[in-house]
Amino acid sequence: MIELPFQDRADAGRLLAAEFATRKFPAGTVVLALPRGGLPVAVEVAHSLKAAIDVVVVRKLGVPWQPELAMGALAGQTRVLDHQLIRDLRVSEEEVEAIVARETAELDRQERLFRKGRPPLNLKGRTVVLVDDGIATGSTMLAAARHVRSFAPERLIIAVPVCSAQALHTLTKEVDEVIYLATPEPFFAVGEWYTEFEQISDAAVQQMLARTHAPAA
């Protein structure tokens, strides 16, 4: 029985990693974090699996006058849009495209910054575990999952400490398995299930990735 809230992302990551300790995963398994918040969680999971770790950069497409409300998401060349929400809120096509252009530029910036010239890991034929610190609407994880699918992994798994029931229902149909610790209701925001939920800087992401990609001594 998991007690909420989690102390912080590292604490949630250790608890999530314990779920993996009871399962067998093939050699060559890859853990992909959704930065920024997913990386501290993913580091714990990758350590447990002794797996390679990388990032998949995803950008939320926020409603123009309410940026925290997602009307879709971008990952690589994959675009996911909530057409019903866009119609209900009467967001124009021009407004959608303006947000897409802005977030595409930010996605490209983060890719360059976080990778520092490192090529993405080869995912073809491998087991891939997508990790975030939690899932509310599911739009960013959906974009990430569909993007990763385009690289033909053998098996695609989503792993999160906490997830809304609605998102779980949607994502279960998109991947081979969703591993989670809790689906509390009502669910308004991921941060409500953490005692410490500070914003993670680009610099902190770079530092974590530098440590995980450092050659073994």
Residue pLDDT, tens place only, 29-70: 999 999 999 999 999 999 999 999 999 999 999 999 999 889
CATH 3.40.50.300 for domain 9-57+121-212 = no
Mean pLDDT of 166-181: 97
| Six token digits for residue 94 | 């021009």
Dihedral of CA atoms 147, 170, 168, 27 in degrees, nearest 10, equals -30
- pTM, full prediction: 0.94
pLDDT for the residue numbered 213? 75
Mean pLDDT of 119-142: 96
pLDDT for the residue numbered 90? 97
> 119 pLDDT exceeds 80?
yes
pLDDT for the residue numbered 216? 47
> 215 pLDDT exceeds 70?
no
Would you say how long the chain is, in residues?
217
Q: What residue spans in the chain does CATH classification 3.40.50.2020 cover? A: 9-57+121-212
> 211 pLDDT exceeds 70?
yes
Mean pLDDT of 139-145: 96
pLDDT for the residue numbered 68? 85
Mean pLDDT of 13-19: 96
> 103 pLDDT exceeds 60?
yes
Percent of the chain's residues with pLDDT above 90: 88
